[in-house]
Amino acid sequence: MTVRRSTTTSDEARVRTPQSERVEATRRKIIEAALTLLREEGFKSATLQAIARRAEVSMGALQHHFESRDVLMERLVAEVMAPLGDQGGVWPDPSLPLEQRAPEFVQRAWQHIFGAPNYQTAWSLFFGCKAIPSLFARIENYREEVDRGFYTQFFATFPELKSHPHPQGVASVVFSSLRGAAVQELFTVDAAEKVGSLEVLAELIVGACAHGAH
């Protein structure tokens, strides 16, 4: 007796693939292609035609999912800003010794948010969206919301700052420094210089907390 082996053709596999999965897979290809172009070539180069070529989809397929560049950019804004609101891995235990807590916070903040590739992509997108008032207003509102969460958690992680004469100023300097270091990643940055700057930032937090404790 001859046993007929079961084979699966690509057409059969496609039939069994739910439509929603295929749609989402195509959307992800387009989004990832757009993020790559923004990161590598900037906002102006991320045209619909260039994104379609990078994603290896037709213009018709791209516009089926994102009817205009503004609609796609709005999705990309949500994409790059999502990690800013997800701060679960950033904050060390407030009960840790200050000299351990401060550098741990700086390293985590850099690793999970400010030093991540999508954060550099975000800057390119934010600057480009400046010319789209409705979209930039949405970015600004989200930034304010995220900043409030950052500041609240920062003071909870470093309660010593409550006695500092300018706790809000300390937090502002810390986050401005992290953002500035992130922007520098758009250029060639010496690795030792970057490590040194993060260490100095941790020392600044320790010094500010010690000042507040006296």
Q: Whole-model pTM?
A: 0.76
How confident is residue 126, by pLDDT bands cut at 50, 70 and 90? confident
**Whether 79 contacts 94, CB under 8 Å:** no
**Can you tell me the distance from the alpha carbon of 69 to that of 49, in angstroms, rounded to the nearest whole number?**
10
pLDDT digits (tens, 9 = 90+) for 168-199: 999 999 999 999 898 888 787 788 888 999 99
SS3 of 112, please?
Answer: helix
The mean per-residue pLDDT over the stretch 90-96 comes to 94
**pLDDT score of 103 more than 70:** yes
- CB count in 10 Å sphere of residue 29: 18
Longest dimension (CA), the chain: 90
pLDDT digits (tens, 9 = 90+) for 151-167: 999 999 999 999 999 99
The closest alpha carbon to 171, from 201, 194, 126, belongs to 201
* CATH class label, 10-67: mainly alpha
Angle at 208 between CA 198 and CA 88, to 5 degrees: 55
**Can you tell me the distance from the alpha carbon of 90 to that of 193, in angstroms, rounded to the nearest whole number?**
22
**pLDDT score of 83 more than 80:** no
Mean pLDDT across the chain: 86
**Can you tell me the distance from the alpha carbon of 54 to that of 70, in angstroms, rounded to the nearest whole number?**
18
